[in-house]
């Protein structure tokens, strides 16, 4: 694979969403996809899509350990928030700090 075809990715600080602190985060600026995880993303054993088309990753105990948020920067700029419909509840994200820089 040519290195020019790889999207630039920016690793960032921790972010708290819906009361969960995600400490392993990566933003793909070219694809406008934000990956936030608690610990190692490889620990996920289940993946569930959201009504908005995003993805949630869950650990062996069923806890939410990761989110894949599509069009993160676009949604935040256009709507001022990113809504995520999770099985338990809906979460609105209004501040991602410098994750999308």
- Residue pLDDT tens, the chain, 101 long: 344 444 555 556 888 888 889 999 999 999 999 999 998 888 888 898 998 999 999 888 888 899 999 999 999 999 999 998 876 655 667 777 777 87
- 94 domain residue, yes or no: no
Residue 17 structure tokens: 């969403």
Classify each residue of 55-80 as buried b or exposed e, where b means 16 or more C-beta atoms within 10 Å of its C-beta. Answer: bbbbeeeeebbbbbbbbbbebbeeee
- 60 domain residue, yes or no: yes
- 66 domain residue, yes or no: yes
Q: How many domains does the chain have?
A: 1
- 68 domain residue, yes or no: yes
Give the domain extent around 25: 3-86
- 98 domain residue, yes or no: no
Residue with tokens 């920016």: 10
Q: Is 52 left (phi over 0), alpha (psi -120 to 50) or beta?
A: alpha
């Amino acid at each position: 694979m040519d290195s020019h075809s790889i999207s630039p990715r920016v690793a960032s600080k921790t972010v708290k969403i819906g009361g969960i602190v995600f400490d392993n985060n990566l933003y793909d600026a070219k694809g406008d996809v934000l990956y936030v995880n608690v610990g190692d993303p490889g620990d996920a054993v289940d993946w569930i899509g959201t009504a908005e088309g995003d993805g949630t990753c869950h650990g062996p105990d069923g806890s939410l350990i990761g989110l894949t948020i599509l069009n993160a920067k676009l949604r935040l700029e256009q709507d001022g928030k990113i809504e995520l419909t999770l099985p338990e509840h809906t979460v609105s994200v209004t501040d991602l700090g410098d994750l999308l820089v």
